[in-house]
Amino acid sequence: MEAVFIYIAKSSSLMLFFYCVYFFLLRKETFFNSNRWFLLSGLIVSSILPLVSYTKVIWIDATTDFNTNIATSLVNDPQKEAVDFNWTILILGLYAVGFLVFFIKLGIDFYSLNSIIKGKKVKQQADFKFIDINENIAPFSYFEYIVYNSSLYTPSELENIIEHEKVHSDQNHTIDVLISRAFSIIFWFNPIVWLYKKAIMQNLEFIADSEAAKKILDKKAYQYTLLKITTHETCVAITNHFYQSLIKKRIVMLNKNQSKKRNSWKYYVVIPALAAFVFLFQIEVIAKERQQNVKAVSVGNESVNVYKITKNSTDAELNELKASLKSIHNIDFKVSEIKRNSQNLLTSIKVDVINGSEKTQSIQVGDKTIKDFGIVVITDKDGSKKAGIQTSDEKIVVSKKVSSNDNAKVTSKTTENKNITTNTETHVNTNSITSTKTNSDTNTNISTVVTTNKDNNVTTITTTENGPKIIISTPNNVKLTGKKLVIVDGDVMPSTFKLEDLKPRDIKTMHVYKGIDAIAQFGEAGANGVIEIETRE
């Protein structure tokens, strides 16, 4: 309901603006046809422009505010509220009553018009249909129909009247009348619309008077005809009738000198005003939380930075990430094979991370959007860098030195299970090319990560479909068991330790750390996950 009130306020303001421009700047000018289109444009613009809006997105950093959470919980706390009177129903009811009254009045006017025209003898002349009636009403035109009572006027007066009504009919002024009438019904509660309707009707009479006077030799006789028609008080509301009030103004405009063309600048004053309206009121500002694309944690003497890439990442953000990795960590970052859907979301991407002699590559191809992943950079206390690709927070796999047989075994197994073909060259300019086929039945993205160490001629390929991983290239001197790190009462258990040896009743608490949380808490030793157990005394 609030949106309706806002629309009405904006529409009424625009209508008032157009009317004021006409009343103060254009009303006394003789640009009658231009004024006609100006007034009609004002109605159309005032009804459509408030519905047109442009969206401006403002990105804000995601924050977790304890006080905000408390306030939110208090606001959402159900409380008993007093039942207020429903003003919305009352307002809608009043509007419906007014709308119905004026709509019925329109129906009555159409019925009156039909009763006057129906059954009458029609005389066709060119594009006009003349109907001579016996009723004592003011002459009028309705589209191609021109209706009059010839017995009330002299031949010269009748000629003046017919010339006037021909202008109305030929220029389709009835359409203007119906449009203004429709707006006065829809916005019946707005006083501006009634003034606007009156201005449109008056300007149409100025047009007809001006054009008719060009074809009539005796302008004074035409003006006397205007005065004579004032004796007829009956007219049909939805027609262009010869008699209108403000006859004095019509006679003044007939005798007014033509306005100078340089005065046409007055029409253009609406352009900056409409532009200001759009920029001030029609730009919808939407605040969106920016994902923390960079997450930095310190673990002992190491620091871990994670640069996230999501389906919403733009080309500009990827370029910014490339510059950051190069300037801060001296790591080369390349992206290619980018594809996006109609919503501009990433559906395919190939990422290469090059850290000295080590290269990590991630490829995601599929019909749906990519899974979120990121670039992981670990900095040791001596400043050495280890870089990799995070493709999930659920599991972390750290690549290590493997023998040629082991490498072949891994590659062969991956190829067999995931339909992936690899072609790896191990000289200085090593290129790892991985082609991935997507299972059309599951319609999900398949992510492939290739890690290459050019110094040791080692390549590790990891393919994930529903459980992507993190691949971090690691120097050869780092020894990993490949098992989760188990800590019992603060002591690191050996690789031969079995959880089954602990009795459930002896365990007081147990915490499981995975993904980046494990690295953040325990460093690279927790790359495969950490289980921390506290036993009962």
What are the tokens at 429? Answer: 């300019």
**Top-ranked range on mean pLDDT: pick from 93-107, 246-260, 292-306, 310-324:** 93-107
Instruction: Delimit the domains of the chain by residue range.
Output: 31-43+103-270, 291-479, 480-537
Q: Are the C-beta atoms of residues 145 and 131 closer than 8 Å to each other? A: yes
Q: What is the average per-residue pLDDT within 36-57? A: 92
Q: Are the C-beta atoms of residues 377 and 387 closer than 8 Å to each other? A: yes
- Torsions phi, psi for 61 (to 5 deg): -70, 135
What is the C-alpha to C-alpha distance for residues 470 and 515, in angstroms, rounded to an integer? 8
> Is residue 58 scored above 90 in pLDDT?
no
DSSP 186-250: HTTT-HHHHHHHHHHHHHHHHHHHHHHHHH-S-HHHHHHHHHHHTT-----TTSEES--S-HHHH
pTM: 0.56
CB atoms within 10 A of CB 537: 6
Specify the range with the lowest mean pLDDT, choosing from 370-379, 487-496, 501-510.
Answer: 501-510
Q: Are the C-beta atoms of residues 211 and 205 closer than 8 Å to each other? A: no
For residue 69, the model assigns a pLDDT of: 45
Instruction: Name the strand (E) or helix (H) holding 398.
Output: strand 396-398
For residue 135, the model assigns a pLDDT of: 85
Q: How confident is the model at residue 265 (pLDDT cuts 50, 70, 90)?
A: very high
User: Looking at per-residue confidence, does 85 or 516 come out higher?
Assistant: 85
Tokens 């999900």, located at residue: 444
DSSP 365-411: ESSSPPPPEEEEEEE-TTS-EEEEEE--SS-EEE-----HHHHHHHH
Q: Are the C-beta atoms of residues 158 and 189 closer than 8 Å to each other? A: no
Q: Are the C-beta atoms of residues 201 and 181 closer than 8 Å to each other? A: no
Specify the range with the lowest mean pLDDT, choosing from 50-54, 81-85, 253-257.
Answer: 81-85
Specify the range with the lowest mean pLDDT, choosing from 89-98, 143-152, 237-246.
Answer: 237-246
> Is residue 262 scored above 60 in pLDDT?
yes
Q: What is the average per-residue pLDDT within 348-364? A: 86
Q: What is the average per-residue pLDDT within 289-308? A: 67
What is the C-alpha to C-alpha distance for residues 526 and 299, in angstroms, rounded to an integer? 11
Q: What is the average per-residue pLDDT within 261-267? A: 92
What is the C-alpha to C-alpha distance for residues 349 and 318, in angstroms, rounded to an integer? 11
What is the C-alpha to C-alpha distance for residues 350 and 364, in angstroms, rounded to an integer? 6
For residue 463, the model assigns a pLDDT of: 52
Tokens 């953000």, located at residue: 317
Q: What is the average per-residue pLDDT within 509-530? A: 75
What are the tokens at 313? Answer: 């990442």
Mean pLDDT, the chain, whole residue set: 76
User: Looking at per-residue confidence, does 84 or 444 come out higher?
Assistant: 84
- In tens, the pLDDT along 300-318 reads 567 788 888 888 888 888 8
- In tens, the pLDDT along 475-491 reads 333 334 457 888 888 88
Q: How far is CA 323 from CA 290, 306, 316, in A?
A: 19, 15, 11
DSSP 123-173: EEETTEEEEE--S----EEETTEEEE-GGGS-HHHHHHHHHHHHHHHHTTH
